Amino acid sequence: MKLLRTLTISFCALTLAVSAFAGTKSVLLSTDSTLNGQKLKAGEYKVDYKVDGQNAEVKFIRGNKTVASASGQVVSLDKAPNDSTILRSSNPDGTSTITEIQFEKDKSAVRFAPESSDKGN
C-alpha cells in the first residue's frame, strides 16, 4: 500500500513537471511584424514563454520592456530546428503576422491563432 501511494505521488509530480515549464530564448526578427495586433520592429528580442499543458503564454522583450505578448498552442514538430525560427503570414496590406515560433533544438513550437482582419470593429 505504501509503495502504491509513493508511486502515485511520484507520477503526479512528474506529470506536473512535464506539463508546466518556462524558458527564455533569443530570436532575431528579420522584418517588421505583428503579434496579437501589436507591432514589432525588426531586430533582436528575448522571448519568455510559459507552457502549461498544450497552452503557452509568450512575451517578446526588448531591453527590459515587454513589447508584445500572446497566447498560443503548443504543437509537436517532426524534427527539432537547428536555429530558432519565426514563421509569418503575409497580410493584404503588405505587413506580416507571426504565426509560429520554433525554438532551436526543441521538437515543440508555439502556434498562434490567425488574427482577424476586422479586429477592433
Identity of residue 78: D
pLDDT in tens, 61-75: 999 999 999 999 999
pLDDT in tens, 79-121: 999 998 999 999 888 889 999 999 889 899 999 987 644 444 3
Determine the pLDDT at residue 115: 67
Q: Which residue has the higher pLDDT, 75 or 12?
A: 75
In this model, does residue 51 exceed pLDDT 70?
A: yes
CA distance linking residue 76 with residue 29, whole number of Å: 22
Mean pLDDT of 5-32: 64
pLDDT in tens, 96-105: 999 999 988 9
Determine the pLDDT at residue 19: 55
In the chain, domain spans:
20-111
Cα–Cα nearest to 109, from 34, 66, 56, 67 = 56
Query: Alpha-carbon torsion 19, 22, 28, 32, what sign?
Result: positive
User: What's the chain look like in SS3?
Assistant: CHHHHHHHHHHHHHHHHHHEEEEEEEEEECCCEEECCEEECCEEEEEEEEEECCEEEEEEEECCEEEEEEEEEEEECCCCCCCCEEEEEECCCCCEEEEEEECCCCCEEEECCCCCCCCCC
- Residue 33: CB atoms within 10 A of its CB come to 22
Determine the pLDDT at residue 2: 54
Determine the pLDDT at residue 61: 97
Determine the pLDDT at residue 33: 94
- Residue 96: CB atoms within 10 A of its CB come to 18
Q: Kindly report the pTM of this predicted structure.
A: 0.76
